[in-house]
Structure 1
Amino acid sequence: MKRFAQILYEQAHWIFEADEKPEFAPDIVLVDITGRNDIQEGWDYNRETGEFTAPIVPEPTPIEPQPTVEEMQAQTLLNTEYLVSRSELGLGGN
C-alpha cells in the first residue's frame, strides 16, 4: 500500500493510502510519500525541492485585558471631576 498527499495551496491537504496513484483531474497534485510517515496534513510543501516541513505557527499576540465596568465608571468620574475643577478655576473645559 502506497501513501499519497494531495497538495493544495502549497500544503499537504489530504493524506491517504492506495495501491496505486489514482487518476484525478489534471489540476489535482498528488505526491507519493510512501515511507515518509512523519508528514502530516497541513505541512508546507516546496514544489522545487519536493520537501515537506511542519508549519511554523507564530506566537499569538497578547491581548490587553479590557477594563471592567467599575474601572470605566471610576475613570469617567475622575474625568468629570477634573473638568468641573477646571471650570470652577476659570480655566475652561479644554
Structure 2
Amino acid sequence: MKIQLSKDAVCGIIEIPKGDYLASLGSDNGQIVLVGGGRDFKIPAVRRRANVKTKRTTVTFSGGGGKIWSLVIASPKLGEWISMIQYKD
C-alpha cells in the first residue's frame, strides 16, 4: 500500500524524509520496509496479534494523536505488525 508522509518523520533513530512510500512487511526480522525516492527505510515493528480475522493483507496508516501515527500491516499468514512513526516539528 502507498502511504504519504507530509512532513519529515522519525521512527526510533531512523529519520524518514517526507514523500510517498510503499510499505511492505519483513516478518522474519521484525521490520516494516518503506520504499520510495530510491531509498529503503527499515523501521522496527512489533507483532501485535497472531490471529487475523481477514482473509487478505491490509495496511493501515492512521493518526494516533498529535504527532504520532501508527502503521499496521495485518496478514492472515504472518499476523498483525505495528510500527509507530512520529512527525518532526
Higher relative contact order (CA 8 A, sep 6+): 2
Relative to its length, the structure with more strand (as a share) is 2
User: Which structure would you say has the larger Rg?
Assistant: 1
Report TM bin, short chain. Answer: under 0.3
Relative to its length, the structure with more helix (as a share) is 1
**TM-score, normalising length: structure 1:** 0.25
**TM-score, normalising length: structure 2:** 0.26
